[in-house]
Amino acid sequence: MSELRRDPICGRWVIVDTDHSNKPEDFEYEPQSYKGGTCPFCYGNEAMTPPEIEAIRDHSTAPNTPGWQVRVVPNKFPALQIEGELDRRGIGIYDMSNGVGAHEVLIETPYHQKDISDLLDTEVENFLSMYCRRAIDLAKDKRLKYIMIFKNFGAAAGASLEHPHTQLIALPMIPKNALDEIRMAHNYFEFRERCIFCDIIRQEQQEKERIILENEHFLSFCPFVSRFPFEIWIMPKKHNERFCRISQENEIPSLASILKETIARLKIVFPNLSYNFIIHTSPVNGDGGVEGYHWHIELMPKLTRVAGFEWGSGFYAVSTPPELAAKYLREKQ
Amino acid sequence: MSELRRDPICGRWVIVDTDHSNKPEDFEYEPQSYKGGTCPFCYGNEAMTPPEIEAIRDHSTAPNTPGWQVRVVPNKFPALQIEGELDRRGIGIYDMSNGVGAHEVLIETPYHQKDISDLLDTEVENFLSMYCRRAIDLAKDKRLKYIMIFKNFGAAAGASLEHPHTQLIALPMIPKNALDEIRMAHNYFEFRERCIFCDIIRQEQQEKERIILENEHFLSFCPFVSRFPFEIWIMPKKHNERFCRISQENEIPSLASILKETIARLKIVFPNLSYNFIIHTSPVNGDGGVEGYHWHIELMPKLTRVAGFEWGSGFYAVSTPPELAAKYLREKQ
């Protein structure tokens, strides 16, 4: 019989198929592939993007020329734009605002065909540090309330460009899912005077069966209430409400190492897999209310299509229990 | 500049691209196609499914033989099973239950290659009536709290079988999205003493620009806060909390007609499109709390892939404003 599991963070129920669990070979997924063509994110094509905002590059090189290791540019087709006053208003029962915000693209590496698992540790550290720098810089604009950092890798995961990149969207309001998570985590904190994420880490460390990897500062595991087969969370062991407060000296190298190794294992089990990850963190420029929140990364491999059931209900059915997924990933090296 | 719009029902913000709006020809979608092979839902293959629960069939024919117009069978690989006691329990900070519930498949027509828009009005009425009959029957089991009725059409929309069918899942708890909608609608009702959905209908009828079709009992429109391009809601004009309380005599023919015609127009604009729809309705066997809720259908054409941004945030970006989408659909006949 299948199991129903309830996410303690946002109250979502998930059906876990423990009877006819899917093994890795049971998934038919669309493999990520490189089609070629001129890439605006490759060396020599810097003029194809809007001028760079920030970069890590050789000292002898000029902005918007080759010689960079990480490069941040405005999105050429931004979902939101930084200019203009925020103008919230109602139209009858509806609410709207003009599209004030920011939309940046962070090119992680000059190498078109290298996924995170193919990079050197220091290269991963570089782009993770740049995530922080951009988040801190964007948060200086007091109109902005939430900085979302996410990566779509592969066409099946919604990436419109092949070259590895991450997007940063700064929003003038807190998105619903973040608000739900923060509220529930805060309720738990009020009730128990403990962080729910710290409690999850403790329970996962005790039970061990869902852990993929652990290093000095981070835990990589398949969450008890996975929405997708082989879903992975990477969580800092030290309580920290906000991603950009991460220690550059100690935690960034530890995160780079666990992120790279987790993706490497995932891609041994599923070659050329597409995936998304998102950094879940506290809002910025707010009036508090993030007590008991704990930043983390949620990584979703693109193994299945999401159908009507999930969309309609927020009620997911997952065909590989996280205990089994973690076992496959733990044993691959 | 783009617009930010907030869903008054569940508080979700959506970015609507009013600057570089996508026209129908701008979408590259995976067309729905028929691959052939033996189909367990076709005439003559009745033995390939579990024995039928209920059917509309010629009087002279026996169960599990040809001669049916609509046929309901248990899902061969059910997400939930009806046997056993509901056993909710905690494991540390996590919550779980055994998978008690029901999972049925409603085969809408004997014709393998006919979508709803290809059926006769009476054929659509027949399967819609059967939706009600099954929902009423399932709700007799007091352990079940929510009956979800949804259709996945085409592989891109998550359908694992080509033959047109709808799924019914009866759950022992109310899924999160339904709960969110019901709570917000109830808050609005407490504040205004009016149903928010009735107010939406009134505003849409006044503004007209998002309406696709209207008949005696139903309105078909692109919602102001569409999450997906060409998203469509079909809503009964008469306030009614629960789908299965629909009038068989007056409303079912009206719903069959508007559903068929809406899908027909969608498929003129996007030939061989895959789509999902879900019936949003009130919970069953509850202790009330649905005052101010109003059942409706949400239809999501599969034109785009959902990427990390949407998953992480519940914050959608839609490239065709609903006003434009409705215009395209209104003008196609």
Would you kindly state where each structural domain of chain A is located, as residue ranges? 3-81+97-330
Q: Are B190 and B318 in contact (CB under 8 A)?
A: no
Q: Is A151 on the interface with B (CB under 8 A)?
A: yes
The mean per-residue pLDDT over the stretch A63-87 comes to: 91
**Mutate: best of B1, B4, B30, B299, partner A, most A CBs <10 A:** B4
**Predicted pLDDT at A231:** 96
Query: Which residues between 229 and 258 in chain B have a beta carbon less than 8 angstroms from any beta carbon of chain A?
Result: none
**Predicted pLDDT at A322:** 96
Coil, strand or helix: which one is A281?
coil
CA of B302 vs chain A CAs: smallest distance (Å): 10
**Predicted pLDDT at B313:** 67
**Predicted pLDDT at A18:** 84
Q: Confidence band (pLDDT; 50, 70, 90) for A308?
A: low
Q: Confidence band (pLDDT; 50, 70, 90) for A226?
A: very high
- The ipTM value here is 0.90
Task: Report pLDDT digits (tens) over A173-195.
Answer: 998 889 899 999 999 999 999 99
Strands A68-74 and A296-301: unpaired
Q: Confidence band (pLDDT; 50, 70, 90) for A288?
A: low
Coil, strand or helix: which one is A4?
strand
The mean per-residue pLDDT over the stretch A234-242 comes to: 96
Q: Are A177 and B313 in contact (CB under 8 A)?
A: yes
Mean pLDDT in order along chain B per 10 residues (333 residues): 88 86 89 89 97 97 97 91 86 92 97 97 98 97 94 90 95 90 92 95 97 98 95 97 95 98 97 95 81 94 76 78 96 77
**Mutate: best of B3, B86, B96, B171, partner A, most A CBs <10 A:** B96
**Which residue would you say has higher pLDDT here, A20 or B230?**
B230
Amino acid residing at A167: Q
CA of A135 vs chain B CAs: smallest distance (Å): 16
CA of B176 vs chain A CAs: smallest distance (Å): 5
Query: Which residues between 260 and 319 in chain B have a beta carbon less than 8 angstroms from any beta carbon of chain A?
Result: 276-278, 280, 298, 300, 304-309, 311-315, 317
**Predicted pLDDT at A81:** 87
Task: Report pLDDT digits (tens) over A114-143.
Answer: 999 999 999 999 999 999 999 999 999 999
Q: Confidence band (pLDDT; 50, 70, 90) for A311?
A: low
Structure tokens at B271: 């030939």
**Predicted pLDDT at A314:** 73
Query: How far is Cα B152 from Cα A234, in angstroms, rounded to an integer?
Result: 33
**CATH no., domain A3-81+97-330:** 3.30.428.10
Tell me what the pLDDT averaged over chain B comes to.
Answer: 92
Task: Report pLDDT digits (tens) over B136-180.
Answer: 999 999 999 999 999 999 988 888 899 999 999 999 999 888 999
Q: Is A82 on the interface with B (CB under 8 A)?
A: no
Do residue A176 and residue B2 have CB atoms under 8 angstroms apart? Answer: no
The mean per-residue pLDDT over the stretch A216-243 comes to: 96
**Predicted pLDDT at A333:** 67
B283 C-beta neighbours (distance < 10 Å), count: 24
**Predicted pLDDT at A291:** 83
**Predicted pLDDT at B287:** 63
Do residue A278 and residue B308 have CB atoms under 8 angstroms apart? Answer: yes
Residue A289 has pLDDT above 60, yes or no: no
Whether domain B3-81+98-331 has CATH 3.60.15.10: no
In the block, tokens 């469509």 appear at: B232
**Predicted pLDDT at B236:** 98
Tell how far CA A25 is from the center of its chain. 26
- Give the chain A residue nearest B169 (alpha carbons): A309
Do residue A150 and residue B308 have CB atoms under 8 angstroms apart? Answer: yes
Query: How far is Cα A297 from Cα A96, in angstroms, rounded to an integer?
Result: 30
- The DSSP code for A221 is E
Query: Which residues between 11 and 40 in chain B have a beta carbon less than 8 angstroms from any beta carbon of chain A?
Result: 11-13, 15, 17, 20
Amino acid residing at A75: N
pTM: 0.93
Query: How far is Cα B128 from Cα B124, in angstroms, rounded to an integer?
Result: 6
**Predicted pLDDT at B266:** 97
Query: How far is Cα B12 from Cα A244, in angstroms, rounded to an integer?
Result: 25
Query: How far is Cα B266 from Cα B299, in angstroms, rounded to an integer?
Result: 11
Residue A88 has pLDDT above 90, yes or no: no
Q: What residues contact residue B179 under an 8 Å CB cut-off, 6+ apart?
A: A11
Q: Is B203 on the interface with A (CB under 8 A)?
A: yes
Strands A316-318 and A13-16: parallel
Q: Which of A103, A163, A165, A296 is catalytic?
A: A165
Residue A205 has pLDDT above 70, yes or no: yes
Of the candidates A2, A176, A300, which has its C-beta nearest B99's C-beta? Answer: A2
Do residue A11 and residue B178 have CB atoms under 8 angstroms apart? Answer: no
The mean per-residue pLDDT over the stretch A221-242 comes to: 96
**Of A184, A113, A93, which is closest to residue B194 (Cα–Cα)?**
A93
Q: Confidence band (pLDDT; 50, 70, 90) for A83?
A: confident
Of the candidates B169, B224, B306, which has its C-beta nearest A94's C-beta? Answer: B224
**Of B305, B301, B306, which is closest to residue B329 (Cα–Cα)?**
B301
Of the CA atoms within 13 Å of residue B159, those in its CB half-sphere come to 28
Q: Are B224 and B37 in contact (CB under 8 A)?
A: no
In the block, tokens 């919230």 appear at: A88
**Predicted pLDDT at A20:** 81
Structure tokens at A318: 């997952």
